[in-house]
Amino acid sequence: MNFSYKIVKKSKHSKARVGKIVTSHGEIDTPCFMPVGTQGTVKTMNPRDLNEVGAQIILGNTYHLYLRPGPDLIAEAGGLHKFINWDKPILTDSGGFQVYSLAHMRKVLEHGVEFQSHIDGTRHLFTPAKVVEIQKKLGSDIMMPLDECVPYPCDKKKAEDALVKTTRWARESLRSRHVASLPGALFGIVQGSTYLDLRKRSAEEIAEIGFPGFGIGGLSVGEPQEQMFDMLDAVTDILPEDTPKHLMGVGYASDILGAVDMGADMFDCVIPTRLARHGSFLTLEGKRSIRLKEFEKDFTPVDPECDCYACRTFTRAYLRHLFLAREITAMHMLTIHNIRFLVRMLEKKRAEIMGE
């Protein structure tokens, strides 16, 4: 397994820490934000853009890449890295989030999940072994086992049933014949919705199985921030300290910074790209719309403190004009800013911890 993790320094004031992940495609300094490249590309961005904003690792979506263009074609191209021309680490998810987001097009079974393709309506069965096999063909550096992500709110019985499946599927994933020759690391995933006892139980069971890193799923699906933090705080006390923790699907500054202080190391979300496509940019206070009338004659950068290409080059007034004129450049520039904003925020957080 081409994967290792070490803690470089712990904060004196919280559970935050600076760490370093080593993979066959390079090193990752944590805490870090990972842009989401669902279809093998981060929307509106290319590898040159991603390198310039400081992205250390990106995500691919196993479900979507399986449907199109297919894992066999990607394997024939030499793996996902070569196919998309990205020479840094890649994390691929399991399709577990699609259990939540495509609830109207799937059926959760005891042995896996049956999806109906959103492209052509064909049906496909994802089992723990098949998900591992697909990710092996993709050649990602960090992989996730099949899990069941439940919505919020969710009754306790349903949350517990999903927890039981997730734990069983995690064991089956590790028993898969494909694991022995995986190019990267298979993480475990903690579920349990917003029930503290279920979260603790899931963390204990997944930790006992033994993984080199852990995803914390089923949060940031509509629950209040306080509840998310309560669940996360409990989980990071249980999972092995010397392993990276990936809080899945979190993309706002206050959520990320709070989670770092509770011991989370890795974050991903479609928020920065999705907001950009709808004309919004990220700030420490949340999101703001570039379409606002107040920006019509505002000849200052989107963020005067940001060092990204968009903020160094263009004004709010110009980007507002481009967005109202439906020019693709506006979405591209706002995406550059939004991703750089989160990457830079965590660069500063790492520096603060190292300086304590």
Q: Classify burial at 200, counting beta carbons within 10 Å of its beta carbon; exposed 0-12, middle 13-18, buried 19 or more.
A: middle
Q: What is the pLDDT of residues 132-155, one digit of tens each?
A: 999 999 999 999 999 999 999 999
**For residue 100, what pLDDT is reported?**
83
Contacts of 45 (CB under 8 A, 6+ apart): 35, 273, 332, 335, 336, 339
Q: What is the pLDDT of residues 44-103, one digit of tens each?
A: 999 999 999 999 999 999 999 999 999 999 999 999 999 999 999 999 999 888 888 888
**For residue 177, what pLDDT is reported?**
85
Q: Which fold has domain 32-269?
A: TIM Barrel (3.20.20)
CA distance 227 to 196: 9
Q: Which of 239, 162, 236 is nearest to 193 (CA)?
A: 162
Q: What is the pLDDT of residues 171-218, one digit of tens each?
A: 999 999 889 899 999 999 999 999 999 999 999 999 999 999 999 999
**For residue 87, what pLDDT is reported?**
98
Q: What is the pLDDT of residues 300-356, one digit of tens each?
A: 999 999 999 999 999 999 999 999 999 999 999 999 999 999 999 999 999 999 999
Output the CA–CA distances (angstroms, integers) from residue 263 to 19, 49, 242, 253, in the order listed.
Answer: 11, 29, 11, 16
pLDDT of residue 1 exceeding 80, the answer is no
**For residue 180, what pLDDT is reported?**
85
Query: Which sequence spans correspond to the domains of the chain?
Result: 32-269, 270-356
Tokens of 99: 């259990």
- Given 49, 141, 268, 303, the catalytic residue: 268
pLDDT of residue 265 exceeding 90, the answer is yes
Q: Quick check: helix, strand or coil at residue 287?
A: strand
Mean pLDDT of 30-49: 98
- What is the pTM assigned to this prediction? 0.97
Task: Report CA torsion sign: 66, 68, 72, 75.
Answer: negative
Output the CA–CA distances (angstroms, integers) from residue 320 to 125, 215, 253, 274, 299, in the order listed.
Answer: 45, 38, 23, 17, 11
Q: How many CA atoms lie within 13 A of 45 on its CB side?
A: 36
Instruction: Verify cis geometry, omega within 30 degrees of 0, for the bond prior to 301.
Output: no
**For residue 96, what pLDDT is reported?**
83
CA distance 210 to 185: 12
Predicted confidence band at 240 (pLDDT cuts at 50, 70, 90)?
very high
Predicted confidence band at 11 (pLDDT cuts at 50, 70, 90)?
very high
CA distance 55 to 347: 11
Tell me, yes or no, if 93 is annotated catalytic.
yes
Q: What is the pLDDT of residues 90-124, one digit of tens each?
A: 999 998 888 888 888 999 999 999 999 999 999 99
| DSSP collapsed to 3 states, 212-254 | CCEEECCCCCCCCHHHHHHHHHHHHHHCCCCCCEEECCCCCHH
- Given 93, 141, 233, 255, the catalytic residue: 93
CA distance 272 to 280: 9
Average pLDDT, the chain: 97
